[in-house]
């Protein structure tokens, strides 16, 4: 009987300390958020012939990297994935690297 209230209270307390609320959000680092490498002034150009550039957006096994890791914009990611697929078709890049 005594355990349940304590458990409840710990449950209500948890979100404070843990995730978004709770700890006051101090901006310790004022680091700018990473932006899309294909937009802005120093933008890379998406080209299916440029294997050196494309290989930065592919895992070691040759899979296309997700946007959440590379910060590529949605529009650029679509163009990028077709570019990678074209490069694969022309055997410039592997479908599966071993």
Contacting positions for another protein (CB under 8 A)? 47-53, 86, 88-95
Give whichever of 80 and 93 is closer to another protein, judged by the CB atom: 93
Give whichever of 9 and 82 is closer to another protein, judged by the CB atom: 82
With H, G, I as helix, E, B as strand and everything else as coil, classify residue 32.
coil
Least distance between another protein and beta carbon 35 (Å): 23
Q: Are 87 and 51 in contact (CB under 8 A)?
A: yes
Least distance between another protein and beta carbon 88 (Å): 7
Residue 12 vs residues 32, 70, 89, 98: alpha-carbon distances, Å: 34, 36, 55, 49
Tokens of 85: 């697929």
Least distance between another protein and beta carbon 40 (Å): 20
What is the distance of C-alpha 20 from the center of its chain? 20
Give whichever of 13 and 47 is closer to another protein, judged by the CB atom: 47
């Amino acid at each position: 009987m005594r355990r349940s209230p304590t458990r409840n209270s710990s449950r209500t307390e948890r979100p404070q300390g843990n995730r978004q609320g709770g700890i006051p959000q101090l901006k310790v680092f004022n680091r700018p958020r990473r932006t899309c490498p294909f937009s802005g002034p120093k933008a890379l150009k998406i080209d299916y012939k440029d294997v050196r550039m494309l290989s930065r957006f592919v895992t070691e096994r040759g899979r296309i990297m997700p946007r959440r890791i590379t910060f590529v914009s949605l529009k650029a990611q679509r163009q990028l994935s077709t570019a990678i697929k074209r490069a694969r078709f022309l055997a410039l890049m592997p479908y599966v690297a071993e």
